[in-house]
Structure 1
Amino acid sequence: MPQCIHLYLDESGPRKPDRSKNDKKPKYDYFAMGGFLINEEDEDLAKKQHSDFCTRWDIDYPLHSVEIRHTSDNFHWLSKLGKDDFTKFVSDLHATVCSIPMLGLGCVIHRDNYNALYKEAHAHNRWKMCKTAFTITLERAARYAISKDRKLRVFMEACGKKENKLLKGYYQEMRDQGMPFDAGKSSRYSPLDAATLKSTLYDLQYKNKQQSTLIHFADLLLYPMARGGFEKEYTAYEYLMRDKMLYDAHLEDGERTFLGTKYSCFDVKIEQPTVEVA
């Protein structure tokens, strides 16, 4: 068996470029897919740190990021804590994350800018955002694995059968044909070819949050990475960068464009229509 780097992935936001008419548009509108990289031999430590944290706080349910942030559902009890105890919980959670030798990595797509660029010209041919985010994240994770002379095993949070099958198709396409993007437009990224991807992408498995405690950490890291695309001063993102828990923190500015978390369509300048004043 080859030595592997494990990539745990979660996703956030609707996969389709257009939101449902009934959706309430959030302040930060994006689709993101990401999580963390970890050496396979470090997983036991990660599981122990997760278990110890949950024992300290009497938690026997998944560490859902959105529930923690909004002190809702299983984490409604956080809203009843005093300021000191709440700070203690957040600090302990951050310390637990930082005690694990893992690196956050992903892809975040700015929905408004994406649609401004592609909706008119490609209204009926736009990909689901998961195809872009999934393939970019896997290719960058594969580069990391190659740099460590390892293979890449991917663990994805399970969704529905249809959604899981779709990602399986993207995964197999990468192994068989390489990256799906226009060769000319993507040439500056020097994408890995099919042979390299096939030899590096070792396996793809699905886990749910009840089966895999490590998927919880993918959930916890993904939101700060996504929010960081809009707001670099967001506290959780700042702390994760400060403590070098994100791959970006280990890269030079020029390297992040090609190796780190991909922030797609964030640097696009959308011209606003001129309004004539009478």
Structure 2
Amino acid sequence: MKLQYSEFALYLDDSGSPKPNPKDQCPFFGMGGVLINRGHEQIIEALVLEFKQRWNIAVDIPLHGSEIRSKKNNYDWLGNLSEVEYQQFMEDLTNTIVRCPIIVHACVISRHGYLKRYLEKYGEDTWEMMKSAFTILVERAAKYVAAKNGTLMVYFEAAGKREDRLIKSYFNELRSQGHPFDTIRANKYFPLSANDFSSLLRGIDSKKKSNAVMQIADLCLYPVVTSKTNPNNQAFLSLKKAKLLVDCDLELSLVDSLGVKYYCFDDYP
């Protein structure tokens, strides 16, 4: 799925806690979602609506990945389906996703690797992983659209006043100061300057979970987050087969600097 237009939007979700807490059992934190052409929102909205109608899901009930996987809350009824019916549901959901005009992008952080690299050095001043993930992801998305002579609007799922202000502050810092990483480490990735960010990033805003594109972002992120330890999970393989991962739309030489980023995975193959 190659995106060609000049105006793009990145819809972001996150997975796991971003706080650098050594007691947290979740092995990864991920931030990512889908990159789309502006104007394709209506196509995705129609596909999501049609899926919900086929399965008698109320329009105001979001397609929420964790609820679907656990068969709980709004999706507890999935537990009453036969195995054949459940497989039909999952196949229909997968087909709906891969028909969407999207590119899937993400930054996935190994919690253990992140703490090992930064906690002893910075202690209480260690960044929340969201700052690192957001910065890396938005920069890579900005480079992607720059290669297509485009600009980028960023949308994230509204979580609360404090959280929303925090994400917007990361965005504003990129536009005014450039990336915050160590210059020597970052130079091998050809970082953008503050002027580059200012010209490429059009703005940032929040969206509610009821937004159809945000629902697709949620469904696409989890398979990428778990792909390092479970590369054969069906959802991830389906995204790869449909060539919806950003890596599939990049020359091999550009994947390392523009593709999905697995950060602080030093202990993983």
Establish whether TM, by shorter chain, passes 0.5. yes
Cα deviation, 1:201-235, whole Å, max 9, x if unaligned, reads 0010101112x121100100010010012221222
Show the counterpart of 1:59: 57
The CA deviation at 1:53 is 0.6
Show the counterpart of 1:131: 131
The CA deviation at 1:199 is 0.3
Given that 1:242 and 1:249 are in contact with CA atoms closer than 8 Å, whether structure 2 keeps it comes out as: no
Show the counterpart of 2:14: 11
AA aligned to 2:202 is: Y
Aligned pairs for 1:53-132 (under 5 A) are 53-60=51-58, 61-132=61-132
AA aligned to 1:265 is: C
Cα deviation, 1:3-42, whole Å, max 9, x if unaligned, reads 41010000111111115x5x6x24xx11111000010121
Show the counterpart of 1:190: 190
For residues 152 and 269 of structure 1, do their structure 2 counterparts lie closer, same or farther at Cα, with a shift above 3 Å needed? closer
SS at match of 1:120: helix
Give the alignment's Cα RMSD to 1 decimal. 1.7
CA distance in 1, matches of 2:212, 2:232: 29
The CA deviation at 1:268 is 3.7
The CA deviation at 1:250 is 2.6
TM superposition score normalised by structure 1: 0.90
CA distance in 2, matches of 1:69, 1:244: 23
Show the counterpart of 2:264: 265
SS at match of 2:153: strand
Which entry has the higher C-alpha Rg, 1 or 2? 1
Aligned pairs for 1:179-218 (under 5 A) are 179-210=179-210, 212-218=211-217
The CA deviation at 1:121 is 1.9
Show the counterpart of 1:224: 223
Pair 1:237 & 2:236 matched: yes
CA distance in 1, matches of 2:117, 2:172: 28
Given that 1:108 and 1:229 are in contact with CA atoms closer than 8 Å, whether structure 2 keeps it comes out as: no
CA distance in 2, matches of 1:178, 1:161: 24
SS at match of 1:232: coil
Cα deviation, 1:81-128, whole Å, max 9, x if unaligned, reads 111111111111111111111010010100011112222222122101
The CA deviation at 1:253 is 4.6
AA aligned to 1:238 is: L
CA distance in 2, matches of 1:80, 1:102: 32
Show the counterpart of 2:143: 143
- In structure 1, list runs of 5 or more residues that go unmatched: 271-278
CA distance in 2, matches of 1:57, 1:108: 32
- Greater Cα offset, 138-147 or 113-122: 113-122
SS at match of 1:127: coil
Show the counterpart of 2:32: 34
For residues 59 and 269 of structure 1, do their structure 2 counterparts lie closer, same or farther at Cα, with a shift above 3 Å needed? closer
Percent of paired sites with the same residue: 39
The CA deviation at 1:265 is 1.0
TM superposition score normalised by structure 2: 0.93
CA distance in 2, matches of 1:240, 1:269: 22
Given that 2:6 and 2:148 are in contact with CA atoms closer than 8 Å, whether structure 1 keeps it comes out as: no
SS at match of 2:122: coil
Show the counterpart of 1:273: none
